[in-house]
A and B are shown apart, each in its own frame.
Chain A
Amino acid sequence: MNGFEFFVLYRLPYLAVPFYLIMLSVRIWVWMRFYNPALKLLPRARGSVYGVWKRQYRPTIHIFPGSRSQRTEWKRAIKGFVFFTGLYKRDKVLWMGSWSLHLGLLLVIVAHARVILPLNLDLICLRIALIGSGLMTVSGTYLLLRRIIIQRVREITDFRDYLAEFILLSFSLTAFLVMLDGGVSSEALRHYVSGLLMNTVEVIEVPDMFVWHMLAAQLLLIVIPFSHLLHLGGIFFSREFLGTSDTFAGEFGSGLKDRRN
C-alpha cells in the first residue's frame, strides 16, 4: 500500500465523512431556522423548538390544484417521490435519465447494506451493484451531455455544476469498473470498515480501482452540501411551501379535464 492509497483509504474518510455530516446539518439547520414545515409532523411538539417555529413567518405561497384530502395528498406525494411522475408527464427523456440515475443510486445503497448484514449475500449484492452503477454511469453521462448540449441548461450551468456531475460520474464509473473486476467481498469490506472504526490499518484484497472509487465517493461527500446535488433533502421542504403534492405528481386539475367540452 503506497502513500496515496493509505491517505485515500485510511485518512481521508476521517475528514470527508465528518465534513459532510457537519455541512449537511448546517444546511438543515438553516432551513429549519426560518420555517420548518416538517415540525408539523410532530403533533405534540412543545417547548423551545415549537415556540420558535410558531413565531416564524409563514409563507403563503400555496399553488393550486391542491389535493382534496390528506389521503390523496400522501398518495400523490409518494407517487411523485417514487416515480417522478410530475417530470415524466412533462419531459420523458429527462425523466428517463433522472429516474434511472436515482434508481441506480438506490441499488448501489442497497448493495452496500451487505456490510452490516450477518449474511453472505455477495453474489446477489455484486450483481445489484453492477446494475446500479451501470445505470448511474449511463444516465449520469446523459445528464452531463444534456447539460453541455441543451442551450437552456448550458446557459445556467457554471463550473461547480460541471464539477459536481463529473465527480458523480467518476463515482459511478469507478464503482462499475470495480464490479467488472470481480468486486469486493463482504469480508474484505467488513475488515476495512472495522479498521476505520478502530483506527487500525487492515490489509485487504481489493481491485486497484477500489482506491479511485473511494476517492470519488469521498469527494462526492465533500461536494454535495455546496452543489445542486443537495436537492435530495430540500425537495420535501419546497413542496411543503407550495402546499400541494399535485404538481409533484403531475396531477394538474384532473377533475377539470373531465368537465371540459
Chain B
Amino acid sequence: MEREKKYIPPGLAGTYMRRIAESDPFVREIQDEPSALRLYMDTCTKCGVCAQECPVYYGQPDKRMHPVERSRQVIRLYKKYTTFWGRFWNAIFPKPDFENNDAELFAERMYECLTCRRCAAFCPVGIDHSVISRVGRSLVDLMGLTPPSLAQGTHNSFETGNLEGASVEAFLDAIQFIEEELKEETGRDIAIPLDREGAEIFFLPPSGDVLVYAENLMGMAKIFHAIGADWTMSSRAYDGSNFGFTTGNNFSMKYENKHYIDACEKLGCKLMVMGECGHAYRVMKFMASEGQWWGTLPFEITSGFEYTAQLIRTGKLKLDPGKNPDVVTYHDACQFAAGCGIVEEPREILKATCADYREMPDGGYTQWCCGGGGGLSALRSVRAFRMEISGKKKAEQMRETDAKIVSTSCLQCRTQLKEIARHHKMPLQITGVHELVNNAIVLE
C-alpha cells in the first residue's frame, strides 16, 4: 500500500529520522501523522477543561474516558519510538507498547473518542484531541484491529465504490423504486438522471440516502425538478461517505474521495452538490479541495444545505410549512458544524419548511455530539457504550426540547439518534433535513 511521502530534512537529523521511519511501519505511521500531535503533547496544560466538555466523559466521568488520558496512550508511543529521550529510556528500561501489553484494549480506547472536536473548541490552548485519536486509530488499523464493520465498509468501498457493497443492479433498482415513489406521490415524472455527461450538477448523496433513507434523495430530486436543474448522479460513484476518515487510514480516506472526484470529472459537471454526510463533505471541501490533494479541481463543491438554503433565500422554492406541523428541533452534526461551519443553512431550511421549529440546547458550533460520531454509530459492538455513555447528554437534550421530530444533517447521527430514541423510550421521529423539504415542497 503506497503511503504519502513525508518530507525528511537532509543531514544528520534526516538520517536519524529516515532510519527510524524505515525500520518499522508502526513507527512510520506515527511519524507521518499531522505535526499537531507533537505540538499538542508539549503544550497541554492538563487543566481538565476538555473533560468538562467531552460527551464521553460526561457519560462516564472516570480516568479511562478522559480525553487527555486517551491521548496519552498515543503520545507515549510517539515518545518511545521517535524522540531521543524516549528511545534512550526505553533502551534502559524497556516498556510494552500498550498498557497491560494489550493492543485490543488500546484499540477499544481509540474508538471511545467521538472525534467531535468539542474539546478543541473549548481548550484554552486549542488542543484537538480528535487529531491524536485519529493517529491512534491509524495504528489500530495498521495492526488489523479496526472494528470489523468499519473495516468491511472500507473494503466494500475498494471493491464496489460504496460502503454497503451494493451492486450496480441494486443501485439501479433502488433508483427505479424511488422514481416510482415520486410518481405515485406527486403524479409527475420526476427523473433521477444517471451518468449524464455534460450535466451542470453532480449530486452525491451518501449511499444510505439511496438504499435506506430515500426521503432525503426524493427531497433533492424534487428541488432539482422544481428549479429545472440540469443534474445527474453516477451509477459507479453514488456513495458520498468516507470511512477512511474515521479509521485513520489515510490511503482509504483519499481513495474514497478520489473515486467520486473522478466520476464528477468524467461527467464534466461544473458543480458537485454533496448530500447529508459530514465526514465526506469535510474531507472533500476542506481537505481534498483546499489541501489540493488532487490538484486544482475543475468543479465547485457545495453541500446540499448551502444549495437549498440559497434557493430559499432567492425565492426559487415554494414551501408549505403546514406540511410539517409538529414541533421540530435540529441536531448539528459535528463534522458539518464545527468541521465545516454549516450551521445557519440547515436552520434556514427547517424554518422555511416547518411550522414550529425550536432550538436544541447548546445548538450550533459547540453542539454536543450525538454519541455515535467518529464512525461509532456503525458499530453494533459498542451499542451499550453509545446508548448509556456517549449518547447520555444527547438523550437528555432530546428530552428537554419537547420536540416530536429531531432533524439532523448526517446519516451517522441519524442512525445514532434513532437508536437513542428507541433505547430511552422517547416517542420521537428522527429525520434528515431534506426529508422535511420533501414533505413541504410545492411543485407547480
Residues in A lying within 8 Å of B, measured CB to CB: 27, 30-31, 33-35, 52, 55-66, 84, 86-87, 90-91, 94, 98, 147, 150-153, 155-157, 161, 228, 230-231, 233-235, 237-239, 241-242, 247-248, 252-253, 255-257, 259-261
Q: Which residue of A lies closest to B37 (CB)?
A: A34
Which of B45, B121, B358 interacts with A63 by CB under 8 Å?
B121
Give the shortest distance, in Å, between B85 (CB) and chain A (any CB): 9
B365–A27 touching, CB < 8 Å: no
Beyond A90-B122, A241-B126, A242-B120, is A228–B338 a contact (Cβ under 8 Å)?
no
Rounded to whole angstroms, the CA-CA distance of A21 and B52 in the bound complex is 35
Give the shortest distance, in Å, between B246 (CB) and chain A (any CB): 15
Rounded to whole angstroms, the CA-CA distance of A90 and B341 in the bound complex is 21
Max chain B CB contacts within 10 Å: which of A64, A91, A147, A151? A64
Q: Which residue of A lies closest to B344 (CB)?
A: A256
> Which of B18-26, B62-70, B311-319 is near enough to bind chain A?
B62-70
Could you list 9 further interchain pairs (A-B, Cβ under 8 angstroms) beyond the known A59-B36, A86-B122, A161-B46?
A31-B42, A61-B34, A63-B120, A152-B66, A228-B46, A241-B39, A247-B120, A247-B126, A259-B344
A87–B49 touching, CB < 8 Å: yes
Rounded to whole angstroms, the CA-CA distance of A252 and B365 in the bound complex is 6
CB-CB < 8 A to A242: which residues of B? 120, 126, 128
B85-137: which have CB < 8 Å to A?
117, 120-122, 124-128, 131
Rounded to whole angstroms, the CA-CA distance of A90 and B34 in the bound complex is 28
Max chain A CB contacts within 10 Å: which of B40, B365, B366? B365
B291–A228 touching, CB < 8 Å: no
Which of B66, B117, B125 interacts with A235 by CB under 8 Å?
B125
A231–B286 touching, CB < 8 Å: no
Give the shortest distance, in Å, between B381 (CB) and chain A (any CB): 26
Rounded to whole angstroms, the CA-CA distance of A158 and B52 in the bound complex is 19
In the complex, how many residue pairs between chain A and chain B have their CB atoms under 8 Å apart? 161
Which of A59, A65, A153, A261 interacts with B35 by CB under 8 Å?
A59
CB-CB < 8 A to A147: which residues of B? 46
CB-CB < 8 A to B68: which residues of A? 156
A153–B46 touching, CB < 8 Å: yes
CB-CB < 8 A to B411: which residues of A? none
Q: Which residue of A lies closest to B44 (CB)?
A: A228
Rounded to whole angstroms, the CA-CA distance of A243 and B378 in the bound complex is 30
B126–A239 touching, CB < 8 Å: yes
Give the shortest distance, in Å, between A164 (CB) and chain B (any CB): 10
Beyond A86-B122, A91-B52, A234-B43, is A61–B36 a contact (Cβ under 8 Å)?
yes
Beyond A90-B49, A151-B61, A153-B48, is A34–B38 a contact (Cβ under 8 Å)?
yes
Q: Which residue of B lies closest to A30 (CB)?
A: B38
Beyond A157-B46, A256-B364, A256-B365, is A63–B359 a contact (Cβ under 8 Å)?
no
Rounded to whole angstroms, the CA-CA distance of A202 and B240 in the bound complex is 74
A253–B365 touching, CB < 8 Å: yes
B127–A238 touching, CB < 8 Å: yes
Q: Which residue of A lies closest to B340 (CB)?
A: A64
Which of A55, A248, A255, A259 interacts with B126 by CB under 8 Å?
A248
Beyond A155-B69, A241-B126, is A60–B121 a contact (Cβ under 8 Å)?
no
Rounded to whole angstroms, the CA-CA distance of A111 and B343 in the bound complex is 48
A247–B121 touching, CB < 8 Å: yes
CB-CB < 8 A to A260: which residues of B? 359, 363
Rounded to whole angstroms, the CA-CA distance of A35 and B35 in the bound complex is 7
